[in-house]
Amino acid sequence: MPRSPSKRGQRVKEDAAASESVTKSVHKIAFVRDSLLSSANTEVVRLRNPHTDSGSMYVVDKDKKAVHEIMAFDEGFRCWFIGQTVESHGKLHMISPVDVTYLILPYLMKASRIVPLEHLLEDEEFPDLSCLDCVASDKDFSHVADNKGTSDLRAWKYNEQSTLEWLSGRVYRLSSLLQEKKVPTSTAQSLTYICPMNPEQAKEAYTVLAHGIISEYISPELTTKLHKHLKLPEKSVKPKVLGSAENQGAKKQRLEGPTDDYSKDNMAGVKGKAAMTAKEKALAKSAVGSKSILSFFGKK
């Protein structure tokens, strides 16, 4: 008679099917504006990130001519409770609007000649860049570039001074908002809760914080120029204590501890005994004829 399949084999198949169904039922948790969900003409595209120069995901709303960035936050040990199930993937996505100027600015900076905007938005590595033309067609980029030719031509030439002024204004507005909302930061929090913070310190602390946030949307090169333009304090970096050979020798000697070997009874190096004080002489005189405490623990 043919053998019937064992219960163990059935259980293995059931577990495999269950694990496969769990893998397919992965949920994505995201915060999205209702206005974006109500739009009928949206597209998820992969564009060049202006800060990292690598690919990032964005949502282009062609009806409302807006761009939204998709940010993911993953803290590692996190899960979600969805109805009666537990989603082990605890990553959180946030879809928030972003100024299209940040996405176009790297191409303006790299342009070697003046070209119309539709020809500027060409990238072989990221072909979806062309979809930004519908968003930027009616935009005025005079805050970062100079308009060349007629208005119908829409040709722009990058202006570094105008760009730094525009970015500075954004930093100051963001700094004021952060200070108004009392957003805790590593710098501002230490100044607020550890030592009193005067208005000048508060302004500088929140300006540094705002500069760091804006820097996430521009290139590292432009970040450095903006930092200098804002006249922010340089980050103090403690130099590594390498020192000279003499300093290293002194440090090594301190870490090694005493150099004398006190486990030996070699007293040859001692030139002479130190003079006893009056108290020590009195104690020595009173101890004459008394037994040592070790004698009480000896064999009897």
- Angstrom distances, CA of residue 2 to CA of 8, 11, 12, 224, 283: 17, 20, 20, 77, 102
Residue 10 or 41, more confident: 41
By DSSP bridging, strand 42-48 and strand 29-31 are: unpaired
pLDDT at 64 over 60: yes
- Region of residue 74 (phi > 0: left; psi between -120 and 50: alpha; otherwise: beta): beta
Q: Which of 12-21, 133-142, 148-157, 196-205 has the lowest mean pLDDT?
A: 12-21
Average pLDDT over residues 18-36: 66
Instruction: Dig out the tokens for 231 from the structure.
Output: 């006249």
The crossing angle, in degrees rounded to 10, of helices 220-229 and 199-214 is 160
Q: Which residues pair with 85 in a beta bridge?
A: 82
- Kindly report, residue by residue over 6-16, the tens digit of the pLDDT: 544 555 445 55
The segment with the largest mean pLDDT, out of 22-31, 91-100, 194-203, 233-242, is 91-100
- Residue 144 — very low, low, confident or very high, per pLDDT cuts 50/70/90? very high
Residue 53 or 236, more confident: 53
The crossing angle, in degrees rounded to 10, of helices 199-214 and 186-193 is 160
pLDDT score for 241: 44
pLDDT score for 229: 96
- Kindly report, residue by residue over 248-267, the tens digit of the pLDDT: 444 444 444 444 444 444 44
pLDDT score for 3: 52
Average pLDDT, the chain: 76
- DSSP assignment of 113-143: S-EEHHHHS--SS-GGGGGGHHHHTT---TT
pLDDT at 111 over 60: yes
pLDDT score for 23: 47
Alpha carbon distance 214, 218 (integer Å)? 7
pLDDT at 280 over 90: no
- Residue 107 — very low, low, confident or very high, per pLDDT cuts 50/70/90? very high
pLDDT score for 10: 52
pLDDT at 198 over 50: yes
Could you tell me where in the chain the CATH 2.20.25.530 domains are found?
28-158
- DSSP assignment of 151-200: TTT-EEEE-HHHHHHHHHHHHHHHHHHHHHHT---HHHHHHHHTS---HH
pLDDT score for 118: 83
pLDDT score for 292: 60
pLDDT score for 199: 79
- The top-level CATH class assigned to 28-158 is mainly beta
